[in-house]
């Protein structure tokens, strides 16, 4: 009979441990509260209920690297593109895995060091390289703007779903965002 009471006590304690832990996890805390619930039961559950909800930034703010693609890395000046193997490298890397150095890569992308060819051809090549870099930067800026607009629209959709704003306010904001993309 004693064994039966011990098993029932352990089951009840596990119940309080699991429930207390779930309440704390639902409030965005990462601590393990199972032990507190197991040891103190209802008291730990009440304490868990009185904890304030922890606000957590969306995952994109702290779980991802600040640069989501190689284009972003190059556009922000924290990376360089190897013309030999077509790989993007972080700015702190001096030599690409193919053996091409950052300095040699930059020398190739600007005016060539040999004396063959005319200066007009060298100037034309330099202009093409500048146009290519400018185009890549503009593309990265457009991608960032699109990602920002999508994030804003999702936030407004969440507000609409929560009933904080009306459908008309949501539609107006959507038109405003898509209008800014078109122009």
DSSP assignment of 7-68 equals HHHHHHHHHHHHHHHHHHHHTT--S--HHHHHHHTHHHHHHHHHSPPPP---HHHHTS-S--
Below-70 pLDDT ranges, the chain: 56-77, 107-143, 180-183
Output the pLDDT for position 63: 46
Write down the pTM of the prediction. Answer: 0.33
DSSP state of 80: E
Output the pLDDT for position 21: 93
| Rounded (10°) angle between helices 2-26 and 42-50 | 0
Output the pLDDT for position 14: 95
Output the pLDDT for position 76: 64
Output the pLDDT for position 114: 45
Output the pLDDT for position 70: 63
Instruction: List C-alpha distances in Å: 175 to 34, 150, 165.
Output: 48, 13, 15
Residue with tokens 């596990």: 14
Output the pLDDT for position 151: 83
DSSP state of 95: B
**How many Å apart are CA 72 and CA 64, to the nearest integer?**
13
């Amino acid at each position: 009979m004693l064994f039966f009471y011990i098993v029932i006590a352990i089951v009840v304690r596990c119940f309080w441990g699991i429930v207390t832990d779930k309440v704390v996890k639902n409030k965005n805390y990462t601590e393990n509260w199972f032990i507190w619930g197991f040891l103190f039961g209802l008291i730990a559950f009440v304490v868990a209920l009185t904890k304030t909800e922890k606000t957590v930034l969306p995952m994109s703010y702290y779980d991802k690297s600040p640069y989501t693609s190689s284009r972003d890395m190059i556009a922000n000046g924290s990376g360089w593109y190897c013309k030999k193997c077509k790989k993007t490298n972080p700015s702190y890397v001096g030599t690409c895995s193919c053996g091409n150095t950052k300095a040699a890569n930059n020398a190739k992308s600007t005016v060539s060091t040999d004396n063959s060819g005319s200066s007009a051809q060298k100037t034309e090549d330099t202009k093409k390289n500048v146009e290519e870099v400018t185009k890549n930067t503009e593309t990265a800026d457009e991608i960032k703007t699109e990602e920002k607009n999508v994030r804003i629209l999702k936030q407004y959709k969440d507000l609409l779903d929560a009933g904080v704003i009306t459908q008309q306010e949501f539609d107006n904001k959507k038109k405003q965002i898509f209008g800014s993309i078109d122009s």
